[in-house]
Structures are given as structure tokens and as C-alpha cells.
Amino acid sequence: MTTTDLITDAGLTQHTQSWPAFLQQAAASGLPLHSVWLTVVDPHGRLKGKRISQEYFDPAHPTEMCGYLMTSDGRNNPVTELSNGDTGYADMRVIPDLRSAALMPGEPGVAHVFGHAHGPDGAPLAIDPHAILARQLDRLAQLGLRAKIGLEAEFVLQHGTRESMQRLGHRPPRPVFTRNLDYSADAPPSVHAYLDAFAQALSDSGHPVETLKCEGAPGQLEVTFRYGDPLQACWWHLRMQRLAMQLAEQKHMTANFMAAPQTSVGNGLHLHLSLWDKDDEPVFSETDPLEESSTSRLDQAVGGLLATLPALAPLYAPTPNSYRRYRKDSFAPTRFNYGLDNRTCAVRVVGEGAGRHLEIRVPGADAHPFLAVASAVASIVHGLTKQVKPPTPIAASGYDDVAPHLPPTLPDAMDAFDSPAAREALGADVVEHYVTLGRALVATHDQQVSDTDRRLWFERA
């Protein structure tokens, strides 16, 4: 099966009907459509696209968008090594994926459809995050397996809008609560009102959340969706993220998805992943986990993750800020290790029987969902095909282990990513593209004078 085949047949069950049937469904819900928002997902996990009047949206016809969307840095500046005047900033063709069609959370009368980026020759762009994930799911399918994914996202709700923060020079804003309210029912009324509106808007648009709760850091919240198809999990996550930010703005707050929004605070994006065979039977329930003599596919999946994730860090920790989350005793991992129901490890084996799955705890909330999931699936495919046996699981604190450390900085991660291991997993074209983007980001970051610079060195210069 090719990437093109996966784009047209990934086994999804939601919205597989024709576009007219989707329009009828929307009208029957009392929300007839007036606009369709067609987007791609850029390399930084942002939605980029066009809002098209419903009567002019033709799902059978590609839409042109400037190809620099796939070659720009996080601030929409073209990276000259990838896109410049010599290329003419030519268009790419965006083909709608009707399986992704859904009402846009928080925007009555607006549908949202994800699109796949293609070149002028009609071939899928290998660097499109959709194509990167589809290629890894294809590799897994060739082994007779498919993944089910549930995403667990954390973010910090803060007073003040993004515009007001810009006016104040991005000084740390106040969180909406200051105590540790992990699992608490005693959040301030403004937080309960926000969560109620958040859950209702998602449900009304066909994206029901599984759980919402307060977390341990000041202002921190957690949202989870039911596990399912990896592409759908990524679609829903990006819509959720956008809605969280929009609702916060309406209430003069900010939803902050930085991996380390302030010192000693970390936001994660944990991947809950299980494997299923062609008969839809759970693979990880086939044996007791991690027996010393075991060679189960669970062991091989864990072995592959620990062997390959070190080379793929920019896919799940994409910014310099990402690496400030990895601190001892922070509930974020610091070493590539694993354990049974152990939240101090990079990989946590959790659940029993058909519910047994892997929680991959290395991605931060700033991670690109498509690329983070692709990195996990690629690592698992490596473990299954090479029959990689994992080391001994951690029974105590993973922070005191001797396993390899996570990269301390993005430059270190980029050096490991620019490697044969990453090229074998993802393809040379993908690695070279994202190495170029990542190193451009590092160069921009290193040229900035920060508040820390001024605070530490002003009186010593």
C-alpha cells in the first residue's frame, strides 16, 4: 500500500460518506454550513489554509496554496535554503480528505476539512506531516498491524490575552489558579465555566472529550480523547488546541501549550498507544508484560522505542523550550527507560489484558502531533522488524537510572537526528528537510537577547 492509497483508505469510520451527505447531516443538526475551512498542517503543527464559501467548495478539485507553507520557520518566514525567489514561491496542490470533515468547534456554520499537500506533478509531498505519518502507518500495516492512539494533552490557563502579553514583553503571566489542584473539584468558578464551554463546544462539533481535569502545576489543565485511529487523533488534537486558545481569548485568558511555560512547570503531550492485528485483536495482551524470557511484540515495541527515539527527538521536542521540560522529579522523563506503571520513565507500560498499552511520555505539549506519533510508530516498527529486546524495566525512580539521558538542548537533538538511524526510519528527504528547518530555528533563537541575559549580565558588563 502506498502513501497515496493511505490518503484514500486509512480505515476510518467517521464521515466516510459523500460530501452531499455530510452537508445533509450538518443541516439536520440545525447548523447548515456557509463556509468550509480547508487546511494543511505545516511543519510546526499549525493549521494553514483558506476559508471557502460552501457553494464554491468542490471536494473533487484540488485547491492551490503557496508551497512556502511547508518551508517556512515558526514565524512564517521562508527558510531560504528551502524556499526563495529562485523557486518563484510556486503553489502546491491541496487535496481535501473528506474523512476529516467535521463541524469546526466553536464556529457554527463552518466545516473544517484537512487536506494533503501534493506537488505540481500530483505526487504527495513527502515532507507533508500527513504523508510522514501515513508512511509509518503503512510500514506498520505491512506487518499486519495497526495502531490505536489516545492523546493526553496538558496546557496552562493564564490571565491576559496573547496581545496583552506581547504589549508587556511576554513577562510571565499569572495562572488562573496558584495552588496544586491535581484531580481537585475545587477549581475557581471561572475555570469551571471555561471547562464547561470547552467540553460543550467540542461535543457539539462531534469531538467529545473523554476526560478533563486540573493538573498539578499552577493553572494547568489536562484533556484526553478516546483512543482510536492515529490520523483522527491528530485531527482532533489540533482542533482542540485551536478551540482552547479561542475560548481563552474570549474570556481574556490565554491557553499556553509551551512545553515549559515558566520555570519549573512542564506541559506534556503523552501518547497512549496500542497495537491491534488484522482481526482487531489487541497485540499487547498476548503475554504477561516484560517477563525476563519474553520475546513478545510488547517487548519488541518497547525495545524499538528506547533504541530509536533518541535519534528522533526533534519530532517530539521541536523547540529550544522543549528541553527545559526534562527535569528531575518533574513527572517528565529525563532518561530513555521504561517501567510498569512508572511515571518517572520515558515509556510507561500500563493497563491489563485488552487495555494494556504504552504511554510514551517524552513529547511536550508543543509537539507536532503528526510528527510525534510518526516518531513513535517508526520506533516500534524498528523494534518489531529487528526484534529488539528491551533492557530491564525500572522498578524505582527512573531519574536515578543509568539509561541514556534525553538530549539537553535542541542542537544536541538535531545532531542526533541528522543520522543514518533517522534516515532509515523516515527517509533521507524528510530528515534533510526537518534538519534544515530545525537548525534555522536554532540560529534565530541564538541571536535573540533574552530577559535572562539582561537580568544576569547587565550589572556585570
Are 274 and 139 contacting, i.e. CB atoms less than 8 angstroms apart?
no
Q: What is d(CA 210, CA 198) in angstroms, rounded to the nearest whole number?
A: 13
> What's the pLDDT score for residue 170?
65
Instruction: Give the integer Cα–Cα distance in Å for 399 and 247.
Output: 37
pLDDT score, position 95: 96
Return phi, psi of residue 163, to 5°. Answer: -65, -45
C-alpha cell at 390: 528491551
Domains in the chain, ordered, with CATH?
3-119 (3.10.20.70), 145-447 (3.30.590.10)
In the predicted model, residues of the chain with pLDDT beneath 70 are 1-17, 167-170, 287-294
Q: Which of 69-97 are b and which e, b meaning 16 or more Cβ less than 10 Å from the residue's Cβ?
A: bbbbbbeeebbeebbeeeeeeeebbbbbb
pLDDT at 288: 64
d(CA 447, CA 435): 19
Beta bridge partners of 94: 63, 117
CA atoms of 92 and 89, how far apart (whole Å): 10
Predicted pLDDT at 290: 57
| Global confidence as pTM | 0.92
Q: In sequence order, which residues have a C-beta less than 8 Å from that of residue 286 and are 6 or more positions away?
A: 296, 297, 298
Report the pLDDT value the prediction gives residue 161, as an integer from 0 to 100.
79
